[in-house]
Amino acid sequence: MLQAIISDIHGNLPALKAVLADIKKRKPDEIICLGDVIGYGPQPRECLDLVRKTCSVVLMGNHEHAVLFGSEHFTPLAQEAIDWTANQLRDPETLNYLASLSPQHRDGKIMYVHGSMRDPLLDYLREADSPWMFHLLLESLLDDFDDTRVCFVGHNHRAFLGTEVGYLFPHYQPPDAKTKFNISGQKLYVSVGSVGQPRDSDYRSSYVLYDGENVEYFRIEYDVDATIKLIREANLPEFLAERLLYGE
């Protein structure tokens, strides 16, 4: 079974289309989306429609949750974008669909969450201060939850592999750096990065492929200028446009 795993599209349709075109070439059996299809970006409905058509599992992210239940825990700038997004998605069918989503999905020993094992909706999985601290994090999080070995996460918008000995950042390294990792028998987090708003200093969209043994990371070019133009036309905050250029 070959899976493509995407996350954090954030209403960025040019990025989503570019990623789906690349995924199609690799012929996965299914596509899993870890949430935050909407929020920040200018085309939430178009992204939601496309994700519903192409993904076999779609999780609830904190932005879907905020559209349904309120944005008071967000920064003022994020609140503005969430309120704008909520205005685009007022029909009952869409709201019922969003309300039907869960922030977690289990498949045997594999867990898929938006945030982390500790809090599937809101917790940010961040790099710990040392490999040892991360080892403790993995022990404390994964041991407590049945016999989970691998947990796929979105939410932090950064692509990395969190293993018992530390972190692997496939795209912080030279272009010829290793991007495919055999994870058989390991306990780890796979942070898949973001399609529509990367925050790891690389503006390109991120996704991963998983075949049951190997995780492979991909970065995909897309038409950033097209998305920026739409953000400005929608009068969304300018910062949301500029950050796409820098992947921050």
Among the candidate windows 2-10, 50-58, 74-82, 166-174, which touches Fe ion by CB under 5 A?
2-10
CB-CB contact of 64 with 37 (8 Å): yes
Residues 30-89 that bind Fe ion (CB under 5 A): 36
Least separation, in Å, of the C-beta of 94 and Fe ion? 19
Nearest residue (beta carbon) to Fe ion: 36
Q: How far is residue 79 from each of residues 83, 121, 146, 175, 204, measured CA to CA in Å?
A: 6, 17, 36, 37, 25
CB nearer to Fe ion: pick between 163 and 194? 194
Among the candidate windows 3-11, 96-104, 181-189, 232-240, which touches Fe ion by CB under 5 A?
3-11
Would you give the distance in Å from CA 123 to the centre of its chain? 13
70: which DSSP letter? -
Least separation, in Å, of the C-beta of 155 and Fe ion? 6
CB-CB contact of 192 with 207 (8 Å): yes
What H or E segment, with its residue span, contains residue 218? strand 214-220
CB nearer to Fe ion: pick between 8 and 200? 8
Tokens of 105: 């999905």
CB nearer to Fe ion: pick between 31 and 187? 31
Site size toward Fe ion (CB under 5 A) is 2
- Backbone angles phi and psi of 133, in degrees to 5: -65, -40
CB-CB contact of 248 with 199 (8 Å): yes
CB-CB contact of 9 with 15 (8 Å): yes
CB nearer to Fe ion: pick between 17 and 199? 199
Least separation, in Å, of the C-beta of 74 and Fe ion? 11
CB nearer to Fe ion: pick between 140 and 201? 201
CB nearer to Fe ion: pick between 115 and 163? 115
Residues 100-139 that bind Fe ion (CB under 5 A): none
d(CA 62, CA 103): 8
Least separation, in Å, of the C-beta of 36 and Fe ion? 4
Q: Is residue 8 within the footprint of Fe ion (CB under 5 A)?
A: yes
What residue ranges bind Fe ion (CB under 5 A)?
Answer: 8, 36
